[in-house]
Amino acid sequence: MGETPFLRMEGITKTFPGVVANDRVNLEVRHGEIHALLGENGAGKSTLMNVLYGLYQPNRGRILLEGRPVTIHSPEEAIRRGIGMVHQHFMLVPPLSVTENVILGLPGARGILLDRDQARQRIQEISHSYGLEVDPDAPVGALSVGVQQRVEIIKALYRGARLLILDEPTAVLTPQEIQGLFAVMRRLVADGHNAIVFISHKLDEVMAISDRVTVLRNGRDVATLETRETNKAELARLMVGREVLFRIEKPPAQPGPVVLEIQDLVVRDDRGVPAVRGLSLQVRQGEILGLAGVDGNGQRELAEAIAGLRIPEAGSIRIHGQDVTRLDAGDLLRFNLAYIPEDRQREGLVLDFTLSENFVAKRFRHPPFSARGFLRRPAILAFARRLIRRFDVRAPGPEVEARKLSGGNQQKVVLARELSQEPDLIISAQATRGLDVGAAEFVEQQMLAQRARGAAVLYISSELEEIFNLSDRIAVIHRGEIMGVVRPDQVTPEELGLMMAGIRRDDLSGSAALAQVPDPTQEEASS
Amino acid sequence: MDMDAVVGLLHATIRLATPLLFAAIGGLYNERAGVINIALEGKMLLGALVAFMVAFSSGSPWLGVVAAAASGMLVALLFAYVTITLGADQIVAAVAINLMMLGFTGVVFRLMKAAISGSLSAPTFPEWAIPGLDRIPLLGPVLFRHLPLVYLAFLLVPLAHFVFYRTTWGLSIRAVGEHPRAADTLGVKVRAVRYLTVLWGGAMAAVGGAVLSIGHNSTFIENMTAGRGFIAFSAIVFGKWTPLGTMLASLLFGFADALQLRIQAGILEPLFRSLGIQEVAYQIPVMLPYVVTLVALFFIGKSHWPAAAAIHYDREEG
């Protein structure tokens, strides 16, 4: 196409105190195109898009829309110019209904009066034409993430968006939901009138859906390529700046006796609804049991129950054969249990504490870190320095606050504290979430090292690739129940995806079951 | 108790709920927009003084109310600037305003007393009986023989309900209180919404104060609000951030106040005497509204604050 591109961003530079988030970045998006923006966390993808969306003002550079230079001072202005954004963390107000979320901020057709009926009708029109099924009257907080994402897309289209920015849209979806999203994306650009910027750090998805791809690294654009003329290895090298191994080396497991045994466990969530419903599983010494599942299917409650942070309703948890069902986290210290929580910033660390304080958070009551009620700083500092070296934490020193570190380094601090005690049992929840390729690799290596040492590992993740890479056995959780336990070499990602969507392993045999699966775009929310 | 006493008690309930209702319904706007306002007390107190001074010197109670509203907005503007623009902690800023107003009104009133010889009595409002309705047995005297400000306060309740749930403004206010960033990405002017609701809340709190000085009385007394601003704040929480709930909570607290006045006046004396109690210190019934406030919060259960309550919003902070 020799015509004027839909969007050109030229020489965009955006700095924050101490950081250059975007350094002379160029981006060109054509009409009718799905353009992937690929890069690791912190590469500057979100910053660039926030500049385009008027949330940040660039220090330098200019933006051209259909050939005309524009300045975008606010999201309002971006919307007016036909730019819509679906943020990675949804920008939805949970207590409000779908309709209210969609019309929020818009001048009503009837002046200051809300016109819900007309809005509801237009929402239905949009959802029919693009396959975005949703109930306009449902409160958004009650919808599944997949459906919430549809609401976000509808919100943008309702405002007349023609250039849609999707920021890491697949992170929270099942494989089937991802296929549904891709179908919607293709329908959106089909008439050549619209365009999509697809932000991702997942190479498979970029290869599958995009027409072209721009790679960002350390705040700079390193390349723009036609997707069909490139491949995963090249993209990975551009993104990380070095060769990347896609399969990690893993010697065969040598499982020993059962360390963790869970029987018919029932755990309620914060709202009092059972989130874990009669779940049983076992983890052996020297084995990694991967627990796959879409977020919010009881993984958090299960992990918290084992770690003693949530008292189960029924069933039992045994560690080394001893009943620990009703023990709290303090009692569990003597079982040498390591817990890597899902939310490292809120539960894994005390962000306002220094690294050394975080390192000894579990052990400061005991020698050598304290004596007669007084902390012994030299011992604590020496210990902290040792861990910083051993776990390769990139930090100015042991006295810096945890808050100041990047996400990857924060996770290393958690790992250092939990793994340095040589635990018998490790409960790891979404340990690589939000980490870039390098840091994620580090986490995986550590898990394998612990396995080799003889630890039993329950590895909870919603990333299928990681589950396949690490697990000796894979259990799939759906709505608090185990759909089946399989070996990674005896199952395909598609089959796992179906189990994650709630189909039991036993019902999966043969292609008959596969044929029965409903179209994911039509499938209704499982809250 | 005879019929007249019941009518009197209910009439007083509505009368005494009115200052709370003004402050609470006004404060509800900024609370729903995510600004916690425990400075209602200070604004009420200032409103009480300003209303009294202006009514006293101009001879017009209405002018007093307008001046009170303006003074409330002025203090609210200060509060808004410090918290919304500068990002200061809302609780700390409000505590400062409360203490400042307690001292300021006391000093000004003493200066005024020293400067003026003779009676410090301001003109007050006449009662407006609503013709026809006030003749309904029982309901008439309870509901329709009040000061004009009383009717105004209760009209603010359906107005607030309409604004919150039927207008684009109300949707913006609720969204800003729950998820300001989401609202911002949709072009809602978060700061403007918060400023306007804080100003409106300030004006209404001050009018509530005016009801105390030139509605119920005809003069000002130091610290005349005596914690009513905090009770109004509790009414918002107890009312679960809805206009109707806030009104019911205000009425409950008004009832407690009306009842304690009657206990002081001796309606329970026969009961006490039969129990062999000679005398009850007046401080004990005076505690009643505050005790009811505590007990009420006891029963409300887990309350759901607007998710962004008391959290400063800055677009370029993550």
Closest alpha carbon to A483 in A263, A275, A315, A293: A293
Q: Determine whether A496 is exposed, middle or buried from the number of CB atoms within 10 Å of its CB (0-12, 13-18, 19+).
A: buried
Average pLDDT of chain A to the nearest whole number: 87
pLDDT (mean) for B301-317? 78
Q: In chain A, what percentage of residues exceed pLDDT 90?
A: 52
Delimit the domains of chain A by residue range.
256-282+299-335, 343-465, 483-527
Q: What is the DSSP string of A69-99?
A: EE---SHHHHHHTTEEEE-SS----TTSBHH
Is there a contact between A31 and A6 (Cβ–Cβ < 8 Å)?
yes
| Fold agreement between A256-282+299-335 and A343-465 | yes
Is there a contact between B218 and B9 (Cβ–Cβ < 8 Å)?
no
Residue contact B181–A91, C-beta within 8 A: yes
Q: What is the DSSP string of A462-512?
A: S-HHHHHHH-SEEEEEETTEEEEEE-GGG--HHHHHHHHTT--GGG--SHH
Q: Between residues A130 and B250, which one has the greater pLDDT? A: B250
Cα–Cα distance between B211 and B152 in angstroms, integer?
11
Supply the pLDDT for residue A278.
94
Residues 29-58 (A) with a CB less than 8 A from some CB of B: 53, 55-56
HSE-CB at B155 with a 13 A cutoff on CA atoms is 5
Closest alpha carbon to B184 in A77, A111, A99, A16: A77
Could you read off the pLDDT of A4-27 as tens digits, one per residue? 899 999 999 998 877 788 999 999
**Range with the lowest mean pLDDT among B87-101, B171-185, B205-219, B279-293?**
B279-293
Question: Please, which pLDDT band fits residue B27 given cuts at 50, 70 and 90?
Answer: very high
Delimit the domains of chain B by residue range.
15-118+140-299
Nearest to B186 among A94, A105, A113 (CB): A105
Is there a contact between A418 and A340 (Cβ–Cβ < 8 Å)?
yes
The residue with tokens 């072009």 is B187
CATH architecture of A343-465: 3-Layer(aba) Sandwich (3.40)
CATH 3.40.50.300 fits A256-282+299-335, yes or no: yes
Beta-strand pair A258-268/A195-200? unpaired
Beta-strand pair A60-65/A7-16? antiparallel
Q: Between residues A244 and A260, which one has the greater pLDDT? A: A260
Which residues in chain B are closer than 8 Å to A92, comparing Cβ atoms? 179, 182
Could you read off the pLDDT of A380-411 as tens digits, one per residue? 999 999 999 998 888 888 888 888 887 778 88
Question: Please, which pLDDT band fits residue A243 given cuts at 50, 70 and 90?
Answer: low
pLDDT (mean) for A40-60? 88
State the best of A104, A165, A404 to mutate against chain B, taking most chain B CBs within 10 Å.
Answer: A104
Question: Has residue A362 got a pLDDT over 90?
Answer: no
Residue A481's alpha-carbon distances to A255, A458, A503, in angstroms, are 24, 16, 11
Cα–Cα distance between B281 and B90 in angstroms, integer?
38
pLDDT (mean) for A472-495? 91
Question: Please, which pLDDT band fits residue B106 given cuts at 50, 70 and 90?
Answer: very high
Tokens of A110: 């009837």
Could you read off the pLDDT of B118-143 as tens digits, one per residue? 788 888 888 888 888 888 888 888 88
Closest alpha carbon to A332 in A310, A300, A358, A355: A310
Cα–Cα distance between B11 and B1 in angstroms, integer?
15
Nearest to A108 among B165, B168, B185 (CB): B168
Question: Has residue B14 got a pLDDT over 80?
Answer: yes
Supply the pLDDT for residue A438.
75
Question: Please, which pLDDT band fits residue A193 given cuts at 50, 70 and 90?
Answer: confident
User: Strands (DSSP E) along A1-89, which ranges?
Assistant: 7-16, 19-29, 34-38, 60-65, 68-70, 83-86
Is there a contact between A250 and A444 (Cβ–Cβ < 8 Å)?
no
| Residue B183 touches chain A, beta carbons under 8 Å | yes
Closest alpha carbon to A224 in A208, A242, A240, A210: A210
Q: What is the DSSP string of A186-250?
A: HHHHTTSS-EEEEEES-HHHHHHH-SEEEEEETTEEEEEEEGGG--HHHHHHHHHSS---SS---
Nearest to B185 among A85, A100, A103 (CB): A85
Residue contact B186–A93, C-beta within 8 A: no
Nearest-Cα distance to chain B for A115, in Å, is 8
Could you read off the pLDDT of B209-232 as tens digits, one per residue? 999 999 988 899 999 999 999 999
Question: Please, which pLDDT band fits residue A523 given cuts at 50, 70 and 90?
Answer: very low
State the best of B164, B173, B186 to mutate against chain A, taking most chain A CBs within 10 Å.
Answer: B186
> Is the previous residue joined to A368 through a cis bond, with omega within 30 degrees of 0?
yes
Nearest-Cα distance to chain A for B271, in Å, is 46
| Residue A59 touches chain B, beta carbons under 8 Å | no
Question: Has residue A2 got a pLDDT over 70?
Answer: no
Nearest to B187 among A75, A90, A93 (CB): A75
Q: Determine whether B119 is exposed, middle or buried from the number of CB atoms within 10 Å of its CB (0-12, 13-18, 19+).
A: exposed
pLDDT (mean) for A122-148? 89
Supply the pLDDT for residue A158.
93
Is there a contact between A499 and A483 (Cβ–Cβ < 8 Å)?
yes
Supply the pLDDT for residue A245.
59
Question: Has residue A239 got a pLDDT over 90?
Answer: no
Is there a contact between B125 and B215 (Cβ–Cβ < 8 Å)?
yes
Residue contact B184–A85, C-beta within 8 A: no
| Residue B172 touches chain A, beta carbons under 8 Å | yes
Q: Which of A160-174, A500-514, B156-170 has the highest mean pLDDT?
A: B156-170
Question: Has residue B302 got a pLDDT over 80?
Answer: no
pLDDT (mean) for A263-281? 91
Nearest-Cα distance to chain B for A68, in Å, is 23
Could you read off the pLDDT of A138-165 as tens digits, one per residue? 999 888 878 899 999 999 999 999 999 9
Nearest-Cα distance to chain B for A117, in Å, is 12
Closest alpha carbon to A36 in A176, A228, A192, A166: A166
Supply the pLDDT for residue A363.
86
Cα–Cα distance between A136 and A512 in angstroms, integer?
34
Neighbours of A495 (CB within 10 A): 18
Nearest-Cα distance to chain B for A94, in Å, is 8
**Range with the lowest mean pLDDT among A105-114, A261-270, A462-471, A503-512?**
A503-512
CA A376 centroid distance within chain: 39
Question: Please, which pLDDT band fits residue A518 given cuts at 50, 70 and 90?
Answer: very low
Cα–Cα distance between B43 and B40 in angstroms, integer?
5
Question: Has residue A522 got a pLDDT over 50?
Answer: no
Residue of chain A whose Cα is closest to the Cα of B178: A93
Supply the pLDDT for residue B316.
64
Supply the pLDDT for residue A1.
46
CATH architecture of B15-118+140-299: Orthogonal Bundle (1.10)
Residues 141-170 (B) with a CB less than 8 A from some CB of A: 165-170
Supply the pLDDT for residue A455.
94
pLDDT (mean) for A357-373? 88
Tokens of A268: 């309620």
Q: What is the DSSP string of B188-238?
A: --HHHHHHHHHHHHHHHHHHHHHIIIIII-SS--TTTTTTHHHHHHHHHHH
Supply the pLDDT for residue B47.
97
pLDDT (mean) for A246-262? 83
Cα–Cα distance between A30 and A17 in angstroms, integer?
33
Cα–Cα distance between A215 and A223 in angstroms, integer?
5
Which residues in chain A are closer than 8 Å to B240, comparing Cβ atoms? none
Which residues in chain A are closer than 8 Å to B178, comparing Cβ atoms? 93-96
